[in-house]
Structure 1
């Protein structure tokens, strides 16, 4: 390791702005003896040293240095350390099951015990009885969790909001839902009315068509990850009359109060009743598994693991990769959250969408177009893999780019054997019918092009996905709002049995 490498490493550390160490317990010396750095060993994953030096945290390739000092690890018995912080509810519910699934797939012994408001887990080799990994989860408010990542005091953070200053991996899916007491018989609430109630602009159930009783707004404390996510969606804080320390306390309080209203995560509904949600045109918005996975439900809430802008220990990287494993998805579902595995639903089970299409069809959607749509839907199923685009562009958004990789992998292994794969393009209702038809076709072509780039070769005999365009004929939501128009601009993945295709 030469002078150039060390200068680059030190320059990177200076930009990290961490404080220098007090006592020095390791010295890392380049193998040519030219340079050395002293500091406190933060971790060693078998490949890289992580040292808190006077230059700030440094990550150094173990092959290029010699470690000297009392803090140097035993290179024959490396212990992986993983420190996780962040949102208490999803962290304590999801992580233990995920680590248990990780251990089972690798034949390791696992022991988990409570530690403070979080837990500690150890993974052990059953043959040698050697502890291979020590994992801790310590809950913290969102700002404190992000600060811990920046300062190198944590490796991962559980959060319900992505942050441009960090990497993010979706661990699970949830949905924000309005809840009321079970003896509150109010039938439904439209999204504009819900937003107005949460903002304190609608204060009485009478304004929503209910009895003349004040709305008692409940919410979580402002330093919770769920409340932060809700505030980001609303653009302002909830005008709550009562605040609670945890989702469980929130749900229990709402269930006791007949005139209460709150927003919580679907996984934390508790004994309260879900108040059905519609958009401003009366379209039902259902937080079922398939709708949440496809992001058709507007209040879909991913549960993220934030990662710092530095190289993570090897064990952390392996665990993040494991999140895509079927065993991990099973653990997510067992914890009461929605997994990220693609899901397929028969289109005949989605008759509500066709009814909405008929109800919302204007003069620009002729009967023969609706008949064509119904004819294709009759035999088809819909995958939860859905593609949407960044505002004002043909660029796929971040979630859709991940879906593109998944679809490419499924096509590469002939995962849809016996089915014709259709990329069905749709538009919103603004503009002329002809222009909208062209736009929906262009979006489907953009997805097909992205697939070709991600997966140049299909298995022999497997046809390329078919492109179909339906313009504005199958709206998901009301076109009078920006959110509704965005939901309507999409490309869906439909699967139609080849036998049904051949018979036409």
Structure 2
């Protein structure tokens, strides 16, 4: 018996009496003559568990295994020669964004070829990758898109390396995943894009704006005539995306579910966003919802909220002030088993990843200027809601001749701690300040709070929040000229709702 076969025999004997061992990549020969390669995860009650190169796990009877040839000991830090990356969760993320990111990721890393294959179930697929010599590329990327809640189940049972979600992780899910680390920490929670919806009508429709509640009532057939919302009398014709689309999933979450309604059965359903938009543009009584890139020949309505009006622009969504937006997340263990996890997240949050986000139709996280100067339209509303004349004067003075940036720092509820998007925005902003657009201009930070509690305490909290951002930026080498807390002045949303209060707890960034 040569040394290699002797070592394999020793491994078999070891596995037979233990259920856990150092990770080992091996070629396994079965009694029927077939062979497979994979990582041996364990042996329990005569059953081997093998993780194959495509990321799927397979069970083998011990009696069916004829030979095990050790390819590599994986107990060190080096990636296995054949390894996969597995994603599970949100349909919105997994339908198009994640596949496009995956394809761009492996191409960027030098893969010779990559082909998509259908998975075992609906809404599952796998990117099989050709790996050139010397390149660190996953041999397969598997995606199972069955809803955000499945992300956290898959992370817990180990069937996914990365969870995809179109909502933030819930408290009970955090508790369930305590063994993977702090899931609301920036090491585990990664906002990769923002999603926004446009409400579209015929170009000649004279209704300028609707509230989210009015939109919900229209699409549930509680409002059926345009005259009820200030339009020309006539029946309202509804146009909606199909049940399986991520666009409908977003609309359902942000409009229907939040108002405890369901879509009217009379709505015309479309699988194509372009066809839906064209149908609305050709119907004087039509109304529909669509992703931002598909407004086309139709007209997008503004969304009204507490004397404020927001248009569905990339800037308003990136600043998270347009009401019909949501964050799209990836969730990872603090110490992922696959080395590709961190590398993929870094790619998704890089300029190359931003390009993919734009291509798919979501809003990327790059820093942008308000070139339309739409922020100055807030001043009349700020005057009407002002509680302190001195604070209002400061707001007008600080923003006069200034340009607002899209990055807006937000905080955990009731705290001065930055949320995970804000933590990464610090580095994005520092990088932007070195660009030609920002060079030579002064940085102004304006802190705000919601209206819950004492006015003076809220102003102190807003100052504390602005100071927190300023200190973090200065620690990264940035120069900050002005840091002011304005309390609950100049709200960007209604303080009567939880989402509104969350949007009002912020630090705005201006260049002067």
Query: Could you state the TM-score of these two structures normalised by the residue count of structure 1?
Result: 0.70
Decide whether the 8 Å contact of 1:426 with 1:471 is kept in 2: yes
Q: 1:175 aligns with which of 171, 174, 196?
A: 196
Decide whether the 8 Å contact of 2:239 with 2:270 is kept in 1: no
Report the Cα offset of residue 107 of structure 1.
Answer: 3.8
For residues 428 and 125 of structure 1, the distance between their equivalents in structure 2, rounded to whole angstroms, comes to: 52
For residues 8 and 424 of structure 1, the distance between their equivalents in structure 2, rounded to whole angstroms, comes to: 57
Report the Cα offset of residue 131 of structure 1.
Answer: 8.0
Correspondence 1:475 to 2:491: yes
2:139 — aligned with what?
Answer: 133
For residues 480 and 275 of structure 1, the distance between their equivalents in structure 2, rounded to whole angstroms, comes to: 23
Decide whether the 8 Å contact of 2:114 with 2:128 is kept in 1: yes
Query: Could you state the TM-score of these two structures normalised by the residue count of structure 2?
Result: 0.69
Q: How many residues align?
A: 453
2:302 — aligned with what?
Answer: 276
SS at match of 1:344: coil
Correspondence 1:296 to 2:321: yes
For residues 439 and 66 of structure 2, the distance between their equivalents in structure 1, rounded to whole angstroms, comes to: 58
Q: 2:503 aligns with which of 450, 469, 487?
A: 487
Equivalence map 1:179-218=2 (5 Å): 179-182=200-203, 184-218=205-239
For residues 331 and 299 of structure 2, the distance between their equivalents in structure 1, rounded to whole angstroms, comes to: 32
SS at match of 1:353: helix
For residues 70 and 290 of structure 2, the distance between their equivalents in structure 1, rounded to whole angstroms, comes to: 47
Distance 1:356 1:340, change over 3 A: same
Residue ranges of structure 2 left out of the alignment (5+ in a row): 1-10, 22-33, 74-78, 178-187
For residues 379 and 482 of structure 1, the distance between their equivalents in structure 2, rounded to whole angstroms, comes to: 33
SS at match of 1:342: coil
For residues 368 and 204 of structure 2, the distance between their equivalents in structure 1, rounded to whole angstroms, comes to: 34
For residues 481 and 35 of structure 1, the distance between their equivalents in structure 2, rounded to whole angstroms, comes to: 52
Distance 1:380 1:229, change over 3 A: same
Q: 2:50 aligns with which of 28, 32, 41?
A: 41
2:404 — aligned with what?
Answer: 382
For residues 37 and 464 of structure 1, the distance between their equivalents in structure 2, rounded to whole angstroms, comes to: 64
Residue ranges of structure 1 left out of the alignment (5+ in a row): 11-22, 55-66, 497-504
1:438 — aligned with what?
Answer: 460
Report the Cα offset of residue 332 of structure 1.
Answer: 1.8
Decide whether the 8 Å contact of 2:147 with 2:165 is kept in 1: no
Q: 2:168 aligns with which of 162, 165, 174?
A: 162
Equivalence map 1:210-359=2 (5 Å): 210-220=231-241, 225-233=246-254, 234-235=257-258, 236-241=260-265, 242=267, 244=269, 246=271, 248=273, 251=277, 254-255=280-281, 257-267=283-293, 269=295, 272-281=298-307, 283-307=308-332, 311-345=336-370, 350-358=375-383
Distance 1:458 1:470, change over 3 A: same
Report the Cα offset of residue 41 of structure 1.
Answer: 1.5
Q: 2:425 aligns with which of 381, 391, 403?
A: 403
Report the Cα offset of residue 96 of structure 1.
Answer: 4.9
Distance 1:68 1:317, change over 3 A: farther
For residues 231 and 368 of structure 2, the distance between their equivalents in structure 1, rounded to whole angstroms, comes to: 38
Report the Cα offset of residue 445 of structure 1.
Answer: 2.8
Correspondence 1:426 to 2:452: no
Decide whether the 8 Å contact of 2:117 with 2:128 is kept in 1: no
Report the Cα offset of residue 208 of structure 1.
Answer: 0.8
SS at match of 2:462: helix
Distance 1:387 1:110, change over 3 A: same
For residues 137 and 195 of structure 1, the distance between their equivalents in structure 2, rounded to whole angstroms, comes to: 32
Distance 1:227 1:414, change over 3 A: same
State the superposition RMSD in angstroms: 4.8
SS at match of 1:102: helix
For residues 72 and 18 of structure 2, the distance between their equivalents in structure 1, rounded to whole angstroms, comes to: 28
Decide whether the 8 Å contact of 1:173 with 1:300 is kept in 2: yes
